[in-house]
A and B are shown apart, each in its own frame.
Chain A
Amino acid sequence: MLEQLSWKVGGQQGEGVESTGETFAIALNRQGYYVYSFRHFSSRIKGGHSNDKVRVSLKQYRAIADYTDVLLAFDQESIDVNAHEVRQGGVVIADSKFNPTAPDHVRLFSIPLTKIAEECGSAIMKNMVSLGASACLLGLPIEIFREVVEERFLRKGQRIVDQNMEAISRGFNHMKELGGADPEFALRPADGTRRLFMMGNEALGLGALAAGARVMPAYPITPASDVMEYLIKQFPKVGGVVVQTEDEIAAINMTIGAAYGGARALTCTAGPGLSLMMEAIGLAGMTETPVVIIDTQRGGPSTGLPTKQEQSDMLAALFGTHGEIPKIVLNPATTEECFTVVGKAFNLAERYQCPVIIMTDLQLSLSKQTTEPLRLEDVVIDRGAVADEADLAAAAGGEFPRYRLTDSGVSKRVFPGTKGGLHHVTGVEHMETGRPNETAGNRKQMMEKRMRKLQGVEIEDSVVRTGDESPDIAIVGIGSNIGAIAEAKEWLQRDGLKVAHVHIHAILPFPKRQLQEALSGAKQVVVVENNATAQLRHLMSFFGVDCPHAQSFLKYNGQAILPVEIYEFCKEMN
């Protein structure tokens, strides 16, 4: 009996790999399993190997496994590319159509997927046949797929639903005849609790909706586009608007214009777009306009690895803009956090009147995962300091002091269209009224006003620490690596080591104090990140975290970090 399962489907891009993986994942999620899926794809629509790897367990692991129990292969290439990770005695289910061959350490089940599908009505249902075969192997009833099949195909008619269920059933039976109902592979039953299943990008979109976002100008880019595609479907319900702009420069400037106008506005991009936005992010800082920018990191630089995992935009997010502005950078790690982080980002942006960058990474943005209940009450809306009647009356006759010097550095906003609120806004250095002024005294005063806003500010829960006190080893991570680290930690603890997991959820203002505290007493420190130059570790020392013995675990080949890799790295240190 399997306590957990690592399952993979592979084939040519465009031949239903994704929908097969998704149907399987959704069906199992609804049985109460925790499911985490990771897509391997390339920047083309048809052709090229792609695969969908799904982790199924009774406990939440937000990482894919380094091995595979079961591989569904739609072509020989999928076997050639993936069989090495199929464990000893693992199963490969392949389409007889291409006379599959597989290495000796696996058990190959050759099933006429395409032929059965054609007999059921259409060759495209071969993925359903393969799902049936999987169900047989795993001891799952085929009925678990019915709901998903109905949701997919009922609008095309009951006949299509029946055909698909028939294909699943035939696959199941064929597998059974081949002796594929193996108790060793029977998956331990789950409790049937129904949870959400979504990717980070969808959670961000839903979070934006809940946060009162109403304007989203953006330019399509992998892996960010789902956010705009999600919101364009949802916004008509609340009166919001998504504009697909001509480029990211337009996107950020339009976002700034809308925020200046008083709407909650955000944009979403990946590394190349973030680079294009840099000048205007400075404008938002200088004009104290609250905007939210989501950067879904992918492999850089340049076009880099557009469909692969990386976390290499951190320095760009912090230091990319010329000049000096106050700025906040948040780094969610899970889908649940993606949901709440947008509201938090808007609140911070409006409270401190500065740009806020939310950084995800491809793995977090695109991995569909079981998600604990999301609650609307976890998103509160705080619009920060906005002028009221009394403020407007006080300014009557003159200009509204939009950039009034205050102790906190924060001055009240007033939205265009407001009677009595006239003022000027400019990216040129300016006075309290917003009028340009380049004198040395004014410059110093205004620079200090802006920078004062975030002085001493600590973002709550920027660092979350779990695990042992006085650990032999503290593992520091960021973004989607949360799952791999959590799992590696368990394995190391099982080996008798004391381990702490220290996860960073915001890198600006850099949580120096929180991090220092979380690392105190650790004999060794490992910083885990998906880049080649140890950006996070360098930020730690740049911002004065005293941790001279920190070592880096780096991965920059475009692949997700696996628990076993962190485990082995830590074992070698000890």
Chain B
Amino acid sequence: MATVKDFRNNVRPNWCPGCGDFSVQASIQRALAGLGKEPHEVAIVSGIGCSGRISGYINTYGFHGVHGRALPAAQGLKLANRHLTVIAAGGDGDGFGIGLNHFMHAVRRNMDITYIVMDNQIYGLTKGQHSPTSAHGFEAKTTPQGNIENAIIPTQVALGAGIGFLAQGFSSDVNQLVQLIEQAIQYRGFALVNVFSPCVTYNKINTYDWFREHVYNLDQVPDYDPTDRAAAMQMVVKTGGLATGLIYRDDSRVPYEDQIPGYPEQALVEEELALSEEIFQNALKQFA
């Protein structure tokens, strides 16, 4: 059986020392090993950004596409091979800026994939512009006098869109993050794990310390019921989107793949492609 080591490769991340994304990388590796996956059974599809590089830093199949489009590519991959464990990953700009449209629709579509967002409230790769999750008033290169737009609260947007599995983690709490990722992968349907993953270089406000002070860890709220959607929404609103842990899950959903008429149990990539003469002749009748 594969161990954490098997999910490591010899590529050295080009992340800054201390970047929150290292913990996300480690957590994914631990979660995959913990679930007994083999490296070739997993594909990580990522977007563009510092965070987007993650697909190259884990020893699985990896696809690094264009900015904001990890989710469509991941869904296409899942359709081609429903037996793969497909993880999409990227930054807050990638997922909630340029790619927000795809996020809403991936939630709605509900394919069995896991989406991990490394949310650092900043555009890291392009060196410090504000992002859609930057708070009002936040100063960045493109908001020198403070952000006059309001932030997107990913957990709120996800619940609003009707997501079936929602969790939020923090790079400082790897044990919790591993568990959340494991649950997200096991969940049959679209799962979001939004991770507060500090950018130590460009975001001097939302630092590790800031998050330590501000997150509200649901693991320490014994009577919180993650199957109650209204309560989840209330919690997200009440905490200003800073609740961490398992926020919501609904196990009654049927994933997209299970609802496609005539879609085979066997992965499409394994299917015989040649059309039978019988189906062809039948198809011609419509035009005769």
Residues of A within 8 A of B (CB): 194, 196-198, 202, 206, 209-212, 214-215, 217, 234-241, 243, 245-247, 249-251, 253-265, 279-280, 283, 287, 371, 374, 376, 379, 381, 399, 415-428, 434-436
Contact = CB atoms under 8 A, between A and B. Distances in A.
Given A197-B287, A239-B264, A262-B269, A215 B76 contact: yes
A387 B140 CA distance: 48
Contact of A428 (B64, B260, B268, B277): B64
Interface in B54-87: 55-56, 59-66, 69, 71-81, 83-84
A234 B40 CA distance: 32
A236 B261 CA distance: 5
Given A212-B274, A236-B263, A261-B43, 5 more contacts: A196-B287, A214-B273, A241-B263, A260-B73, A422-B61
Contacts of B109: 243
Nearest to B60: A422
B72 A217 contact: yes
Contact of A283 (B66, B273, B277): B66
A206 B281 CA distance: 11
Contacts of A247: 101
B62 A424 contact: yes
B11 A435 contact: yes
Contact of A209 (B40, B105, B283): B283
12 contacts: A238-B275, A239-B264, A240-B268, A245-B105, A246-B105, A255-B76, A256-B65, A260-B76, A262-B268, A416-B81, A419-B40, A426-B62
B79 A215 contact: yes
B81 A426 contact: no
Given A257-B77, A422-B39, A417 B284 contact: no
Contacts of B284: 196, 206, 374
A26 to B, nearest CB: 10
Contacts of B38: 419
B279 interface: yes
Given A250-B105, A260-B77, A280-B69, A202 B287 contact: yes
A253 B101 contact: no
A255 B59 CA distance: 24
Nearest to A428: B64
B222 interface: no
Contacts of B60: 422
Interface in B243-272: 260-264, 267-269, 271
A417 B81 contact: yes
User: Top 6 A-B pairs ranked by shortest CB distance?
Assistant: A257-B76, A261-B80, A212-B273, A236-B262, A262-B269, A257-B73
Contacts of A279: 66
B229 interface: no
Task: Indicate the member of A239, A241, A253, A261 with the most B CB atoms within 10 Å.
Answer: A261
Contacts of A434: 62
B221 interface: no
The residue among A235, A260, A419 with the most chain B CB atoms within 10 A of its own CB is A260
A261 B288 contact: no
B43 A265 contact: no
A263 B69 contact: no
B45 to A, nearest CB: 7
Contacts of A245: 72, 105
Contacts of B283: 206, 209, 234
B102 interface: yes
Contacts of A381: 273-274
Given A214-B268, A239-B268, A254-B72, A415 B81 contact: yes
B65 A376 contact: no
Contacts of A249: 69, 72, 102
B73 A426 contact: no
A261 B273 contact: no
Given A217-B76, A239-B263, A376-B280, A417 B69 contact: no
A280 B88 CA distance: 17
B173 interface: no
A417 B83 contact: yes
A262 B66 contact: no
A396 to B, nearest CB: 12
B41 interface: yes
Task: From A238, A279, A423, A434, name the one whose CB has the most chain B CB atoms within 10 angstroms.
Answer: A238
B63 A209 contact: no
Interface string B96-131: 000001101100010000000000000000000000
Given A250-B102, A257-B75, A417 B268 contact: no
A420 B284 CA distance: 42
B64 A426 contact: yes
A143 to B, nearest CB: 18
B72 A417 contact: no
A480 to B, nearest CB: 18
Given A381-B274, A425-B62, A416 B268 contact: no
B118 to A, nearest CB: 18
Contacts of B101: 246-247, 250
A204 to B, nearest CB: 13
B288 A196 contact: yes
B97 to A, nearest CB: 14
Contact of A215 (B102, B262, B268, B274): B268
